[in-house]
Structure 1
Amino acid sequence: MYVSKLIRSFRHTYFLLIILFCLTAFSKKENPETVKAPIPAVKPRNVIFILSDDHRYDFMGFTGKVPGLQTPNMDRLAKEGAHLKNAFVSTALCSPSRASILTGLYAHTHTIVDNQAPLPKGLQFFPQYLQKAGYKTAFLGKWHMGNQDDQPQPGFDHWVSFKGQGVYYNPTFNINGKQVPHKDSSYTTDLLTNYAVEWMRKQDKSKPFFLYLSHKAVHAEFNPARRHRGKYKDMPIVYPSSFYLTATDTSKVFGAKPGTNPELKTPVPNLKDMPAWVKKQRYSWHGVDYMYHGQTDFNAFYKDYCETLLGIDESIGKVLSYLKEAGLDESTMVIYMGDNGFSFGEHGLIDKRHMYEESMRVPLLARCPELIKPGTQVTQVVQNIDIAPTILELAGTAIPKQIQGKSFVPLLAGKNISWRDKAFYEYYWEYDFPQTPTMFGIRTDRYKYIFNHGVWDANELYDLQEDPMEINNLIRSPLHQEIAHSLRDQVWDWLESTSGMQIPLKRIPHKRNDHIYKGTY
């Protein structure tokens, strides 16, 4: 009898303890920044992130795309580290892309959908988490996100920036809140690099640092360093085959003939289903036949771009030289990326914004000998939203739950992990540049689907394997309807699952191009 009561008492106590444990566990409120992955057990690394503006994915010497183009330091990053061959931005425009880099969020989530949209309150930048983890942080260069100001932003201990797009020569920098002018033909790319190296020299080597070097170059209108002017005056220009598709007289297009172009190995173009906005844009501010309303010509534009890029490559070299000098080159992660791509005649277009390869695809290189084997080729799809979680993992810092990107550190280390096989894209119509419509899309390893929103026009489907120049729109092809429907559904599933079904409109004053809409306020 006594033993039986004792057993019942024990069971009762045990049951109560289980209930108490469960209530305690579930009563804890979830932290809004709960991590979605455990803190990596790695030693915090120094990280340098170098960002250029409008650098397209294939304009690097080692790709062989541009005859005569020399980028020895980019080539070195690829040779000694990793080349992420399939890197894409989720929006090919400065401010939205830069916001995605700093937050790990899609544009419709962080809501900076154009170059004027103000920063929403409470937006978190990943360097803020690095600061909490004991990192010293610095930002040097073009901010151009959310506003046109140059004031220091959250997440950075040291600040060097300028207003808006800035200038190539004799800039005025905001250095930790103080306006500092530069004269004597000083070149912005060189100045930013020198300031970056100077800041690194002053750091306590026993503590980790994060450096964000954000260049103005190679944004139009292109101005190379004086030492580089004329370097490519004799550079041959390879016109893309789609350059000629909507030209009324191809024999007069800059003296070039389609038959001389080695890239003309594409399907017969489907001009009927080429979107009308693409055809019309050829004769606009962002078209090859009326570039910046006639302010320049294509050949000079092309060569100026390549010469301006030389300054970026030298900047990378100076950073690598300092790391070697300081004994930090083996353990420091150096990441180089473009904020979006740039068109040079494809579909008769210049600039970015659209979803064609040369616009949404960007260069992405990484070097850290302790982690990355030389010559690593990463073929998986990586996007700008992946930069923030990658750097946080390199820092041994927890990845906040709200971040929509993924860390690609395992890919750099050569690990075989489950990874995405597609990139999503969004672009929102801009008041100042109304030639390009709002669009949403998806790119897989073979197909690209583009939904052109709000215009009476054709949507687009391309087989990138058979048609890398994207000139044969298959949207009406009977053989491809199932593929088109599947990709369209995936776009809507993505938008629905990430709260992207409403366009984030902002009340913004517009003055730059008022002549476009005279009397329409």
Structure 2
Amino acid sequence: MSDEHNHSVAGYYGNTVIQTPNIDALAKQGITFDTHYCNSPLCAPSRLSLTAGKYVSHVDAWGLTSQLPDPEIASLPRVLNAAGYKSFLCGKQHYDYNRRYGFTEVGGDFNNWYQTGLGRRRPPTYLEQKQLSPRFQGFHPGNRGSTVEHDRRVTAGAVEFLSQDHASDEPFFLFVGYLAPHFPLVVPEDYWRRYEGKVENPKIPDGFLDRLPLNYKVQRAGFEEIGVPDDVVRKGRELYYGLANWADNEIGKVLAALRAHPEIAENTVIIYSSDHGENMGEHSMWWKNCMYEQSSRVPLVISWPERWKGGQRRQGASSHVDLVQTVVDIAGAHAPDDWNGDSMTRWMDHDKTAWKDFAVSEYYAHNTASGYVMCRAGDWKYVYHTVIDKDHPAEHELYNLAADPGEFTNLAADPKHQARLKSMHARLLKEVAGDPDETEQRSRRQLSQGYNRTDPRPGNSVTDNEG
């Protein structure tokens, strides 16, 4: 699993500029999912949802400072361990320093956050920034970027693990957590040079920014990303391409270490995905945190030639809770009854098998005035922005992605689409089994209270409120 990989910046998703040869090769040997979503477009909530097999609103995983409500929760690694596997983690999962949820960590200590549970909303009037974010000053080539240095250690740990003799051991589940292509956008110069002058800047329709939902206007000010100069946008996008290319190269080293042991490799399912996307300046937004395709939609490739013919694609909408169910199903384990999602194995076995074609993503984290929830069904995407206060009611977004892949024309107020909007809203509420407005109020209470921790903060712990 990479971090912050925009699904469109990959050769296997049709991008002819980016070089991702290793995952392209994996896609040729597996099944590529064309409409796959994270369950929250932010690191910690997305990874906690993946760990728990549940939507973030079902485990109160609101933001970067969150942890799962029970350290002994029936997690994905614990479910696999109960079925005879041994689960290992090498790299980022954004876990608290004293929680691994059933994983045995290898390769080093990559998860040393001190999760406070604290957070807050921005007021709806927070629409101006005092400065441009310092993050944009950090766009440059280099060999010592924190992302690159982190991931070199991840690769070394994963390669070392796979170099061991696993042939006679119990089956293993290895989760390799990369940080790239997450900012800071610093990558070795030769990777940047490959894309210098080759990545076009986003095209923003006139008047579009005035029509943004209020939450996204607040978010742009909160992340101090209003008015990024065109040359900085271009440089950032080029560097991002370089980081995606660099990450693919690191993943290739891990795959090569696995294939050096063919007796293991032929019986190993390989899965590639990301915890969320990256806006890359599209819609004049950066990082993630929103429900546009660049942020909430993620790559997914599943490869096991022993069972599935390579080069296949699946079009229907799916999400990470479905992926978790699929992993458990492949392993012959049994998911708890209260998990969300559905296994995709029958759909993978037979492409004509009926699939629900429905995915949900939620965001109740920082730098926004209220939480919001998205669902995708067929060509349509619906986003519900919860009530901010008595003066700022709920907002709605509705897009036909077949006709409007850029998500520039919000049809939510069009009388012709009211039946569809109401139908998708009802299906969304049924899927998350709750009212997002009530969830928003619960998240506000919990974020204001935090966890009231009494354990001392370790010297090497990290508190990350920006992500």
In 2: Cα distance, 1:275 partner to 1:494 partner: 24
SS in 2 for 1:161: coil
Q: Measured at CA, do residues 142 and 415 of structure 1 come closer, stay the same or move farther in structure 2, by a change above 3 Å?
A: same
In 1: Cα distance, 2:435 partner to 2:351 partner: 28
Which has the greater radius of gyration? 1
Q: Structure 2 matches for 1:407-418, cutoff 5 A?
A: 407-414=343-350, 416-418=352-354
In 1: Cα distance, 2:313 partner to 2:297 partner: 16
Show the counterpart of 1:78.
27
Q: Measured at CA, do residues 96 and 280 of structure 1 come closer, stay the same or move farther in structure 2, by a change above 3 Å?
A: closer
Show the counterpart of 1:313.
248
Q: Measured at CA, do residues 79 and 513 of structure 1 come closer, stay the same or move farther in structure 2, by a change above 3 Å?
A: closer
Deviation at 1:285, TM superposition (A): 2.3
SS in 2 for 1:393: helix
Deviation at 1:170, TM superposition (A): 8.9
Show the counterpart of 2:380.
447
Q: C-alpha offsets along residues 196-245 of structure 1, whole Å, 9 cap, x if unaligned?
A: 12112224312311110001112111222x3645333524222333x354
Show the counterpart of 1:483.
420
Q: Structure 2 matches for 1:31-46, cutoff 5 A?
A: none
Deviation at 1:340, TM superposition (A): 0.5
In structure 2, which of residues 227, 243, 249 is the aligned counterpart of residue 289 of structure 1? 227
Return the letter of the residue paired with 2:10. Answer: M
Show the counterpart of 2:4.
54
SS in 1 for 2:41: coil
Return the letter of the residue paired with 1:353. Answer: N
Show the counterpart of 1:464.
401
Of stretches 309-318 and 406-415 in structure 1, the one that deviates more from structure 2 is 406-415
Show the counterpart of 1:214.
177
In structure 2, which of residues 92, 97, 103 is the aligned counterpart of residue 156 of structure 1? 103
Show the counterpart of 2:66.
117
Show the counterpart of 1:137.
87
In 1: Cα distance, 2:336 partner to 2:53 partner: 10
Q: Measured at CA, do residues 326 and 152 of structure 1 come closer, stay the same or move farther in structure 2, by a change above 3 Å?
A: farther
Of stretches 502-511 and 73-82 in structure 1, the one that deviates more from structure 2 is 502-511
% identity of equivalent residues: 27
Deviation at 1:137, TM superposition (A): 2.1
Residues 1:323 and 2:258 aligned together: yes
Return the letter of the residue paired with 2:213. Answer: P
Structure 2: stretches of 5+ with no match in the other structure: 115-142, 453-461
Contact 1:342-1:350 at 8 Å conserved across structures: yes
Contact 2:29-2:305 at 8 Å conserved across structures: yes
In 2: Cα distance, 1:364 partner to 1:89 partner: 10
In 2: Cα distance, 1:56 partner to 1:186 partner: 18
Return the letter of the residue paired with 1:379. Answer: Q
SS in 2 for 1:193: helix
Contact 1:282-1:289 at 8 Å conserved across structures: no
How many residues align? The count is 415
Deviation at 1:512, TM superposition (A): 8.2
Q: Measured at CA, do residues 117 and 158 of structure 1 come closer, stay the same or move farther in structure 2, by a change above 3 Å?
A: closer
Structure 1: stretches of 5+ with no match in the other structure: 1-50, 172-184, 247-268, 515-521
Q: Structure 2 matches for 1:99-498, cutoff 5 A?
A: 99-121=48-70, 122-145=72-95, 147=96, 149=97, 151=98, 153-159=100-106, 160-163=108-111, 169=144, 187-206=149-168, 207-224=170-187, 226=188, 228-232=190-194, 234-241=196-203, 243-246=204-207, 273-279=211-217, 281-282=219-220, 285=223, 287=225, 289-290=227-228, 297-327=232-262, 328-414=264-350, 416-430=352-366, 433-434=367-368, 437-455=370-388, 456=392, 458-496=395-433
TM-score normalised over the length of structure 2: 0.80
Q: C-alpha offsets along residues 105-129 of structure 1, whole Å, 9 cap, x if unaligned?
A: 0001111111102331242211112
In 2: Cα distance, 1:498 partner to 1:406 partner: 22
Contact 1:274-1:473 at 8 Å conserved across structures: no
Show the counterpart of 2:117.
none
TM-score normalised over the length of structure 1: 0.72
Q: C-alpha offsets along residues 150-199 of structure 1, whole Å, 9 cap, x if unaligned?
A: x4613123433325689x9598xxxxxxxxxxxxx983222211211211
